[in-house]
Structure 1
Amino acid sequence: MRWPHATAPAWIVHAGFLTCALGAGGGFALATPGVRAVIYTLVVIASIGLFVLALVSGHLAHPRPWLVAIGGLLLLLTDQLLWPYWIIDGHLGRAEGRPADLLLAAAHGLFMVGAAMAVRHRMSADAGGIVDAAMFGLCAGGALWIWVFEPHLPAGATPVGQAQVLTDVLALCAVIGCLLRMASAATGAARGTIGYLLLTVVLTGAALTAGALGVPHRGTWSGVLMLVAFLTIAAGAVHPGAPAAIEPTGVTERRPGRFHLGWLGVALSVNPAITAVQAIRGDDRAGPQLPVATLLVIPLVLIRFKQLSGQREKAERVLAYQASHDELTGLYNRRQIMAEIDRALATQHPVTVLLCDLDGFKPVNDRHGHAAGDEVLRTVAARLTAVAGQGHAVGRLGGDEFVVLCRSGTEAEVADLRDRIAGTVGAPIPLADATVSVGVTIGAARTTPCARLDRTALIAQADAAMYAGKQHRRARVA
């Protein structure tokens, strides 16, 4: 028996989350420092246990992102066991650069990696939108650092500590942007899990902000917010929508218009503009952090440009294929097969053209419908391609007329190919409600370099031969 059930009602998870959040948060706020450390440790252990239970039960269909998240929780548990009073005493977000800060940053890094894996798997069809969202988040994180965090850093903040807090802020903002993008495309039960993950990141950022701002009782506020963040990520793992939250969606890349690109340009200009204002004002607090944050956006911009370039190349390949191939059968269309004939005539090899006109196709089309007729044409096209092989080209002139271009070969080889075409095309064709057969009349025309026939004359000879063959068939039937 699998637990938690993928079909279980979501309200059970919501009720359990609210109960645990109120109980653990209220108990933490009212307890003594020693009891707070115990409550904090128990909540982390309970979150890890729920994750493991969801994985072992098979509830999480794609375990890799969740395993990375468990690694982050284990680092947080280690941090709590080594320094149980670090958050309680209000050190979170103070940029002190202590080992507890670095271990917390490493845990957040694992959360970011897990989120990136989940986003990449789910939004594979909207990779450009995810990169845009991450860029918006990074740019917003830079502005948040300048206006909120940096002005309130204590005098004892170390460069290492500032770099760690800045990294946390940027990473959290980037993940928030990506999760918001996922939430906008989510449907059904997946919204619940994505909502919990988004709330986890927001609560973690709020705990970091409370510590950085030095608000009264910041140890209490940071501790409560982090406790609830642990509970939200665990609730996301056991939510009924967790299996669907990482499943790939059918959302396609949104085509960026001028408005979208304009806002992206504004976002990318925020950090340089702030740096310029600081330089003009002679702000003594201005440091290298914001330019470094701006540099982190450059790889995302390059990735975005690469994606757009790849999309353009793919579109060009699709357009080139559509311009040269028949939409129904996938063979060369009339224009392309004529170009292939011209290229073959420019070589020093004998060229043979076989015009193939189907016999008995109209009755099939009239009796069984156009869908059946299209299926017959596709089947004939596949058979012609298989018989002709790689050395020859096959095209559709229109309707039920095809052409096979033989770029080389003796007359005997061409005659053998002609017989094999007649036998292969005439084989029964199974349809949805019946089995039909069509014949083929083939008109052949051959030229050598010495004859110097152009394409028009060659096609005319093959057409005349095909018409004579049809007249002979009709006379024989009569």
Structure 2
Amino acid sequence: MRRAYLLVSVGLIAAYPLLPSGARTAALLVVTCSAVPPVLVGLRRARLVDRRPWRLLLGALVVLNLGNLTRQLTGLTLAGRLFDAVGNALMLVAVLAVVVRRGRNDVGGLIDTIIVSATLGGLLWDVVLLPRIAEEHPAAEASTFATVFVLAGVLGALVRLLQTAGEPIPALWLLVGALALSLTGNVILELRDTGPVAVGAEMMFMAAYVALGLFGLDGSAHRLARLGHAPDDTLTGGRLAFLGGALAALPLVGGGRQLLGQPVDGLLLVAGAAAITPLVMWRIGRLSAQRARAEQALRYQAAHDPLTGLPNRREFVAQLRAELRRPGGLVILFCDLDGFKAVNDRLGHPIGDRLLVEVARRLGGCVRAGDLVSRFGGDEFLVLFRDAGRADVERLSARIVRALRDPVDLGVESVPVWASIGAVIRTGAEFDVAAEDLIRRADEAMYAAKLDSESTPGVRVVSA
């Protein structure tokens, strides 16, 4: 079916310049309307997670063909242009839906695309097209303006998709070719709508419709519906220069033409600045927010243990110092795993890491919302119980002993958890004690528990 469709379409396009006027109209309508069934077939055949972009593309082809039929059969050029504007808008929405899905909501890339397309479309309109169509009906001029801008936006979105695709997708190149041919044909027809040049532009339109039909039949089209990777989006000097250039391009070109006495579309300058400036500011704002999130992530990594996700030594000491500035008692438990090195050496570091993660999980289940569990280093864990005193030590220690009582299933074997725990209490009356002194005292109590556990393995707790 694909080969037959391609051969017939290429034959009609090749014969188009040789046909009389009436036959040309028929050939053009046959080629443009014949793009609809292949897209419909592709929509039904492909296993698509989200069919909305393909339905929008199908709707765009239907509307564009209504415009072709209206223009060719009734001669209502203005009505045909309005159909073109609506169809191209549907095409833009369809392609942007694919870009968003492939780029995992690549909002930054889409903003770049809109800025580029708006700037280039504005320059194309102001420098090339406006001097040639200034005498046209305002509605026709507005329709041409919308068509050029929308097609430029679609093409920009497809270029963004090419940049982030991550794999060769032939169907994507068919879409790029279709939109490039359509945009070029529109520009050529506005510059010269009669003679061989106009015939060549009409052949470009026909080729664009054939490319869309081939897209519908291409087996790689369904890849565009797959979730793609999130592209990198960093605030670089080149990107800032790019955004600044896009912001300044239309006013500079428009002002230069005004100084040279050439026609300038004032509405374009006002509308372009009003549209592009907020987009540039939004883009900078998003990049700044992304940088702030990255800095926040770095701060989190600096304060947490990468293996267990628990606060690390520095974070524990910082929070303990802050807690010591408050009135009230607290309890610190210094927990050291006994025999961990033997497990690590015998079963390997990955298995040892699994043991540490499980111990961290169990300790985390022993504390209240306001308490703190930290991996202090190696196989050492510290627990800070806020608003606790001497009367709470036995209860809190028993809670941890129960949590560590059951062996840990490491896959290769089940390993018992042996630990030595030192407890230290800071009463509400102690205001001059240092965080390091409390940790040292808890460490000494832990070593006393370790000496006691040499005769009988298990979980031992000693209070300072």
Aligned to 1:94: none
1:406 partner SS? strand
Aligned partners of 2:67, 2:309: CA distance in 1, in Å? 61
Counterpart amino acid of residue 125 in structure 2 = W
Distance 1:206 1:287 in 2: 25
Pick from 131, 134, 144 the counterpart of residue 114 of structure 2: 134
Partner-residue secondary structure (3-state), 1:444: strand
Query: Where does residue 460 of structure 2 map in the other structure?
Result: none
User: Quick one: structure 1 residues 17 and 379, their matched pair in 2 at CA, closer, same or farther if it must change by over 3 Å?
Assistant: farther
Instruction: State which of 373, 382, 387 in structure 2 corresponds to 1:394.
Output: 373
| 1:237 paired residue number | 216
Deviations 1:213-270 (A, max 9, x none): 1153365334322222122122222212111123232252143432343244334322
Given the alignment, which residue of 182, 185, 204 partners 1:204? 182
Are 1:178 and 2:166 matched, yes or no? no
Q: How much has 1:469 moved relative to structure 2?
A: 0.7
Counterpart of 1:22 in structure 2: which amino acid? V
Mapped partners of 1:389, 1:375: distance in 2:
24
Q: Distance in 2 between matches of 1:16 and 1:381?
A: 66
Letter in 2 for 1:120: V
Query: Shift in Å at residue 315 of structure 1?
Result: 0.8
List per-residue Cα deviations over 1:408-453 (Å, max 9, x = no partner): 2454544233222123224222224333222111111112211333
Residue 90 to residue 229, structure 1, CA distance change in 2 (3 Å): farther
For residues 350 and 301 of structure 1, the distance between their equivalents in structure 2, rounded to whole angstroms, comes to 54
**Deviations along 1:140-164, whole A, 9 cap, x unmatched?**
1111112221122162x12232222
Q: 2:237 aligns with which of 255, 258, 263?
A: 258
Relative distance call for 1:118 and 1:331 in structure 2 (3 A) is same
Equivalent-residue separation in structure 2 for 1:303 and 1:390 (angstroms): 38
Match of 2:66 among 75, 78, 85: 78
Pairwise CA distance, 1:297: 1.7
Paired AA for residue 262 in structure 1: A
1:119 maps to 99
Instruction: Report the CA distance shift for 1:117/1:159 in structure 2 as closer, same or farther (over 3 A).
Output: same
What amino acid does structure 2 have at the position aligned with 1:129? G
Partner of 1:441: helix, strand, or coil?
strand
2:141 to 120, 145, 162: 162
Counterpart of 1:473 in structure 2: which amino acid? S
Structure 1 stretches lacking a partner, 5+ long: 1-11, 92-97
Distance 1:263 1:154, change over 3 A: closer
Supply the distance in 2 between the matched residues of 1:241 and 1:131 (Cα, whole angstroms): 27
- The amino acid that maps onto 2:89 is G
Name 1:336's counterpart in structure 2: 315
1:342 match: secondary structure: helix
Q: Which consecutive residues of structure 2, in runs of 5 or more, have no partner in the other structure?
A: 458-464
Q: Distance in 1 between matches of 2:5 and 2:366?
A: 66
Question: What are the within-5 Å matches in structure 2 for residues 292-441 of structure 1?
Answer: 292-409=271-388, 411-441=390-420
SS in 1 for 2:119: helix
Contact map agreement 2:407 2:416 (CA 8 A) in 1: yes
1:356 Cα offset (Å)? 0.6
Structure with bigger RCO (C-alpha 8 Å, 6+ apart): 1
Distance of aligned partners of 1:61 and 1:50 in 2 relative to their CA distance in 1, 3 Å threshold = farther
Greater shift in the superposed pair: 341-350 or 24-33: 24-33
- Secondary structure at the residue paired with 1:248? coil
Aligned partners of 2:355 and 2:408 also within 8 Å: yes
Measure the CA separation in 2 of the matches of 1:141 and 1:284.
17
| 1:4 aligned residue | none
Residue 153 of structure 2 corresponds to residue 213 of structure 1: no
Structure 1: how far apart are the matches of 2:393 and 2:301? Answer: 30
* Distance in 2 (alpha carbons) for counterparts of 1:302 and 1:266: 13
Q: Deviations over 1:385-408 (max 9, x none)?
A: 122232311111111110110002
Instruction: Quote the Cα distance in structure 2 between the aligned partners of 1:342 and 1:17.
Output: 77
Query: Which aligned pairs between 1:51-90 and structure 2 lie closer than 5 A?
Result: 51-85=39-73
Q: What residue number does 1:46 align with?
A: 34
Aligned-pair distance for 1:300? 2.4
* Residue pair 2:81, 2:143 contacting (<8 A) in 1 also: yes
CA distance in 2, matches of 1:474, 1:281: 95
Runs ≥4 in structure 1, deviation > 4 angstroms?
15-18, 410-413
Q: Secondary structure at the match of 1:391?
A: coil
SS at match of 1:51: helix
CA distance in 2, matches of 1:469, 1:373: 23
Q: Which amino acid aligns with 1:253?
A: D
- 1:24–1:227 contact (8 Å) kept in structure 2: no
Deviation at 1:181, TM superposition (A): 2.5
Sequence identity (%) = 29
Provide the C-alpha distance between the structure 1 equivalents of 2:49 and 2:441, rounded to a whole number of angstroms. Answer: 64
C-alpha distance in 1 between matches for 2:348 and 2:273:
62
In 2, distance between residues paired with 1:80 and 1:142? 26
Q: What amino acid does structure 1 have at the position aligned with 2:451?
A: Q
Closer, same or farther: CA 414–52 of 1 in aligned 2, 3 Å: farther
- Conserved in 1, the CA contact under 8 Å of 2:421 and 2:446? yes
212-221 or 318-327: which moved more?
A: 212-221
Distance 2:73 2:417 in 1: 85
SS at match of 1:403: strand
Q: Tell whether the 8 Å contact from 2:104 to 2:229 is kept in structure 1 after alignment.
A: no
User: Which is worse superposed, 288-297 or 66-75?
Assistant: 288-297
> CA shift at 1:474, angstroms?
1.3
The equivalent residue for 1:99 is 79
Preserved contact between residue 36 and residue 213 of structure 2 (Cα < 8 Å): yes
Q: Structure 2 vs 1, CA of residues 461 and 281 (structure 1 numbering), >3 Å: closer, same or farther?
A: same
TM-score normalised per structure 2: 0.90
- RMSD between aligned residues: 2.5
Q: Is the 8 A contact 2:389 2:426 kept in 1?
A: no
Offset, 1:71: 1.4
AA at the equivalent of 1:273: L
User: What is the rounded CA distance, in whole Å, between the counterparts of 1:17 and 1:403 in structure 2?
Assistant: 73
SS at 1:395 equivalent: strand
Question: Residue deviations 1:344-381, cap 9 Å, x none?
Answer: 22233220101111111111100111111111111111
Is 1:60–1:237's contact at 8 Å kept on the other side of the alignment? no
Say if 1:134 and 1:175, in contact at 8 Å, map to a contact too: no
Report the count of equivalent residues: 455
Q: State how far apart, in whole Å, the 1-side matches of 2:279 and 2:4 are.
A: 39
| Greater mean deviation of Cα atoms: 350-359 or 219-228 | 219-228
